[in-house]
Structure 1
Amino acid sequence: MIGRISGLLLEKFPPLVLVDVQGVGYEIDVPMSTFYNLPAVGTQITLHTHFVVREDAHLLFGFATEGERQAFRQLVKISGVGARTALALLSGLSVADLHQTVSNQDPARLIRIPGIGKKTAERLLLELRDKLDLGVSAIPGAAGARRPSTMGSDVLNALLSLGYNDREANWAVSQLSVDLSVSDGIRQALKFLSKEK
């Protein structure tokens, strides 16, 4: 998995950028929100990346922020939403706007994005309702944004890998004392979650 790329920006052809990393040029597809904020060609850049291996291609997608990458990863998990559609969504809406659209259950805003029809918009709203909290929490100024402690983020990741949804995991982490170790935090969070069910 390639999680991050740092190198010299060689070319910019929307939505593709070419980044030289010690003599190797990586072609990276980026959403327009990232593309418009890139510096001039010849400048050092760092992108958070998502690597996709398909039968016919290896694709690399880049994002200016971790929040964009997390939102992209949530989008591509949805049936009928591929990487290109996810890029189009993130090009048309910021992560905060996407979160607001999902919170307000506003399909009209999604339908305005090329490639998104009424059924896809409704499916997106339904499936993202509980899943975008993680991507938005990393955005400064987003509603309810907070930076979890290292312990908190480790516990959050553990709960998500155990199958809890973002809302449940974030709630459990918010109940924890900040002075716990990771293993104690996981135990406490699981106790909180078992009492809620």
Structure 2
Amino acid sequence: MCMIGRLRGTLLEKQPPWIVVDVGGVGYELETSMTTLLALPGPGEEVQLHTHLAVREDAHLLYGFARGDERQLFRALIKVNGVGPKLALAILSGMDQEAFIRCVMEDDIKALTRLPGVGKKTAERLVVEMRDRFPHWQLEQENGLHALELGASPTTAAPDPQADAESALVALGYKPTEASRMLSGLDDGLSTEGLIKAALARKLAG
């Protein structure tokens, strides 16, 4: 079976949580975490992404990550009982890698349950199954895994940033009413990505 480990090409579209990257005339559709999406340049810029291909009976799904260590954590998460790719992306979107590791090492079940789709039992499994992996877990930033080349162009705002941000949060697993509440009162001048980032930060803060 052919595996796709990395893509380099031109970013064509950003419709959170989905992006499309043109590689030699072929448009690859990838689902990303919000951490990766917020790091991406605007459409038309070149990007490099670490990828993970999930093969199912009904589809081949491609996931993209700005950093190799984020992909590494994604792959560790989907090995946890009851955690699939969708929930793993929601976890990576809801808090940064360092915060997640801290929650696991400090048994912070309450913080983990603020993430969409993570109930108390799932949070407890995350702590138990992930804790033993972290003593030897070295963030590989110093090893050159920052492969994403960030462009200087600003991200183009969507015609309706509020609606697009709400759709993205729902795609991550938040209920529509919860997503709307997370976005309520945020600066209307923010881009879609800015609104998502602010909403997730508000949710994490409780």
TM-score (norm 1): 0.69
1:135, CA displacement in angstroms? 5.4
CA distance in 1, matches of 2:135, 2:27: 34
Question: Which of 6, 26, 29 is the aligned partner of 2:28?
Answer: 26
Output the CA distance in 2 between the equivalents of 1:62 and 1:135: 21
Deviations 1:3-43 (A, max 9, x none): 10100000000000000000000000000000011001000
Offset of 1:132 from its aligned partner?
A: 3.8
1:40 equivalent in structure 2: 42
1:124 corresponds to: 126
Amino acid of the structure 1 residue aligned with 2:73: A
Q: CA deviation at 1:93?
A: 1.2
Structure 1 position 136, deviation (Å): 4.3
Calculate the TM-score normalised by the size of structure 2.
0.66
AA of the residue aligned to 1:40: G
Aligned residues: 142
1:109 CA displacement: 1.0
Uncovered stretches (5+) of structure 1, i.e. residues with no partner:
141-146, 148-197
Deviations 1:57-78 (A, max 9, x none): 1000011111100000000011
Residue 93 of structure 1 pairs with residue 91 of structure 2: no
Aligned-residue CA RMSD (Å): 1.6
Deviation larger for 131-140 or 56-65: 131-140
Q: Per the alignment, in what secondary structure is the counterpart of residue 36 of structure 1?
A: helix
1:121 is displaced (CA, Å) by 0.3
Runs of 4+ in 1 over 2 A off after TM superposition: 132-137
- The equivalences for 1:40-189 within 5 A come to 40-132=42-134, 136-139=138-141
**Alignment correspondent of 1:8:** 10
Between the aligned partners of 1:65 and 1:134, the Cα distance in structure 2 is 19
Secondary structure at 1:68's aligned position in 2? helix
Identity %: 51
SS of residue matched to 1:39: coil
Q: Larger RCO: Structure 1 or Structure 2 (Cα < 8 Å, ≥ 6 residues apart)? A: 2
Q: Distance in 1 between matches of 2:111 and 2:56?
A: 31
Unaligned segments of structure 2, at least 5 residues:
144-206
